[in-house]
Amino acid sequence: MHTLTHQHQHQRTTALRRAAVRATLAPSVHNTQPWRFILRPNELEIYTDPSRQLRELDPTGRQLIVSCGCALFNARAALASSGHTVVVERYPDPGQPNLAARLTATEPTNGVVDPIVALDAAIELRQTNRRRFSDDDVPAELIALLEAAVHEEGAVLRVIRGEDERQTVAMLCQRADAIENLSPAYRAELRAWTTDDPRRTDGVPAMAVPHVDGTAQDDIPIRDFDTHGAGWLPAETHSSRHQCLLLLGTAGDNPDNWLRAGEALERALLEIARHGFAASPLTQVVEVAATRAALRSELSLSMHPHVLLRVGRAPMTPSPRRRRLVDVLDEQS
């Protein structure tokens, strides 16, 4: 019995360590990777890392927490695919505000399959794709699947429909992008988190962004990450209001909601990748308080919006590097 218990313990620890590794592959704002993990024999804790917060773009820490929610979902999918049941406690300790979640692995699920099992295999496929999308329609069946998946995570996915809504969203995105680019502090922060150094393990690399030369022809601006003039991808991105646009939000607007928004976002992104499509998260419109409020008002939203997704088909792009596991994971016995 002792040997069997020890074997189960080893299996759980191995599954939790793998979950931490999968969590590190999550998307994060400006590829800041603002997380830390503590691994114990039966549990994995996910902490936010305030030292990696974007103080200009994200003063409330909302996008930092959304990013950690994405990491949390990857960990959940990894544990599910390992055959374990997982108990998730979100913000379990008021005395540790940076402790975003604690995952406890229990005995194997004995044949009960969690529907997120299939998404673990899509983690390597998922990428933020800033290329020009093709004119292929996104099937209504996939959009319905995404709406249901996001709902399962306690969030809401609103499809932007009709020319009036599309024009409104495009206009507010342009306004937000212009407001941010007028700020020297914002531009300085952006430069600090973009890089043409292939050895750097965080930030947005030049190989994953379009070259900016004024020929993008975007209705809905893709953030100008080409701060060093070294963007590898084609300049003409044609980010259009006529493409598939999905707005993700939550009923509330506090850290717990932000964490769940991240889980919902990553679940949607993995489903999009699993079905052979690409996604480009666009967040300028929700980063500027005035345009975020206008978005709620103009679209008569009851939810609080967190991210706008552009979905379509596009060639793969290079993936940014990740920090070493030893720099983000603390294993404790």
Residues 173 and 113 placed together within one structural domain of the fold: no
| Lookup result for tokens 């680019």 | 181
The sign of the CA dihedral 96, 101, 105, 106 is positive
- Amino acid type, 123: I
Q: Are residues 112 and 204 part of one domain?
A: no
Four-residue CA torsion sign, 32, 230, 288, 258: negative
Q: Classify residue 21: in a domain, yes or no.
A: yes
Lowest mean pLDDT among 18-27, 92-101, 187-196: 187-196
Q: What is the mean pLDDT of residues 81-96?
A: 94
Is residue 309 a contact partner of residue 249, using CB atoms and an 8 Å limit? no
Q: Structural domain tally of the chain?
A: 2
* Same structural domain, 98 and 195: no
For 266-312, the pLDDT digits (tens) are 999 999 999 999 999 999 999 999 999 999 999 999 999 999 999 99
| Mean pLDDT, rounded, of the chain | 88
CATH at residue 41: 3.40.109.10
Residue 329 within any structural domain of the chain: no
Residues 39 and 147 in one domain: no
* More confident site: 111 or 31: 31
In a domain, 321, yes or no: no
Domain enclosing residue 228, as ranges: 140-312
290 inside domain? yes
150 and 99 share one domain: no
8 Å CB contact between 283 and 32: no
